[in-house]
Structure 1
Amino acid sequence: MSPPPSLKRIHHVAYRCRDAKETVEWYSRVLGMTYTTAFAEDHVPSTGAYDPYMHVFLDCGGGNVLAFFELPQQPEMGRDANTPEWVQHLAFEVEDLNALLAAKAHIEAQGIEVLGPTYHGIFRSIYFFDPNGHRLELACNIGTPDQYAELRALAPVMLNEWAATKRAPRHAAWLHEDPAERGEG
């Protein structure tokens, strides 16, 4: 058997949008992404199917690219009605808690509703929606090297326990106790 491929990074992640121009302008204004590339075709290169589209690419920083397809000939975009809104989302990392709080203020100043910051043990996050209905998250890491090591060691145990019970394993209790709520941070 041959070995699996050696991946370098995610080349890009692509989602659908309602309006490519509006989406590019929103991500540039709200999240500071740089619009870098566009492809527009009448036929899909991989299938040959007639399906006109605009494919736009935005630089998220750190070699990461977010892309969108506008598909004017397709039915209006929707979402999976059987999956809660909070599940499918894109998360971007910011430098620290100060950057997260500054981002929240900037996004709210654009008239966008923001939830959080929310405590997740090893990071804090804020949540909001883009004009296409995609949920976005900005997160800053707050964990210690020992906490990350503990979670890495517990990951297989937790997955096996979940697979057997379909109940949330309660390992690493500190993950569920926000120090800010106890006046510690």
Structure 2
Amino acid sequence: MTTATTGSPVNLAGIHHTAYRCIDAKQTVEWYAKVLGMDYTTAFAEDHVPSTGEYDPYMHVFLDAGNGNVLAFFELPNQPEMGRDANTPAWVQHLAFKVGSEEELLAAKEHIEAEGIDVLGPTHHGIFKSIYFFDPNGHRLELAADIGTDEQYAELKRVAPLMLEEWSQTKKAPRHADWLHELARKEHGH
């Protein structure tokens, strides 16, 4: 959203980078290059955290995820072993990357499986199809190919406020976009 539409003094220009923790920076950089073709572009390493000043040595690596998007990782050797939120299902927290077509999605699946990685999908979400897998740090990743029409995206935008309001009141899935599920069922012959 821009200042013009929200009236906010903040005018975002995109995501600068998103950062996650990793077990081993070198292994992570090599895995993302081999499996997803990402270029390793930058590293910062400090003994003291610049924002807080506390002593906590780290390696911070940056990978080019395409189209100006940057994925970063921190290796923190002095911190307790990396874990995950036990109260959140593993399928919830994930990072989704866009691919250009359904054909590219299927080619990516074949490549990733050839690297010995378990891949779930493709899963049909009505307006996009996805595959899912985990990186060596336990982060769930998704590759998604858009397949929707401009009209479908416009309809989803139109019903989004209605769905959010209904969800807020009932905590049950609103039925405003049931047609998405019908698209997936029709493709699978159900």
Q: TM-score, normalised by structure 2?
A: 0.94
Alignment partner of 1:105 out of 106, 110, 114: 110
Q: In 2, Cα distance between the equivalents of 1:126 and 1:95?
A: 14
> 2: distance between equivalents of 1:155 and 1:165?
15
Q: Secondary structure at the match of 1:117?
A: strand
The structure-2 alpha-carbon separation of the partners of 1:169 and 1:3, relative to structure 1 and needing over 3 Å to count, comes to closer
Distance in 2 separating the partners of 1:72 and 1:172:
46
Shift of 1:182: 2.1
Q: Which residue of 2 aligns with 1:125?
A: 130
Partner of 1:6: 11
**Equivalent residue letter for 1:28:** A
Aligned match for 1:79, one of 79, 84, 87 = 84
CA distance in 2, matches of 1:107, 1:158: 36
1: CA distance between counterparts of 2:30 and 2:9? 39
1:135 aligns with 2:146: no
1:132 is paired with a residue whose SS is coil
Q: Which residue of 2 aligns with 1:65?
A: 70
* Equivalent in 12, 16, 25 of residue 20 of structure 1: 25
Q: For residue 188 of structure 2, what is the aligned residue in structure 1?
A: 181
2:189 & 2:153 partners in 1: Cα distance? 22
- Take 2:180 and 2:35, find their aligned partners in 1: how far apart are those partners? 30
- 2:149 equivalent in structure 1: 144
Please list the CA deviations of residues 15-43 of structure 1 after superposition, one character each: whole Å capped at 9, or x if unmatched.
Answer: 00000000000000000000000000000
Partner Cα separation in structure 2 for residue 22 and residue 8 of structure 1: 31
Please state whether the residue corresponding to 2:104 is helix, strand or coil: helix
Deviations 1:124-181 (A, max 9, x none): 0000000000000000000001100100000000000000000001112221121321
**In structure 2, what residue type is equivalent to 1:125?**
S
Task: Please list the CA deviations of residues 65-84 of structure 1 after superposition, one character each: whole Å capped at 9, or x if unmatched.
Answer: 00000000000000000000
One of 151, 168, 171 as aligned partner of 2:173: 168
Q: Distance in 2 between matches of 1:116 and 1:3?
A: 40
Count of aligned pairs: 182
Gaps of 5+ in 2: 1-6
Measured against aligned partners, the alpha-carbon deviations of 1:91-118 in whole angstroms (never above 9, x if no partner) come to: 0000010000000000000000000000
Q: Which 4+ residue blocks in structure 1 deviate beyond 2 angstroms? A: none
Residue segments in structure 1 that go unaligned for 5+ positions in a row: none
Q: Which amino acid aligns with 1:116?
A: G
CA distance in 1, matches of 2:177, 2:48: 51
Kindly report the root-mean-square deviation, in angstroms, between the aligned alpha carbons of the 2 structures. 1.0
Percent identity between matched residues is: 74
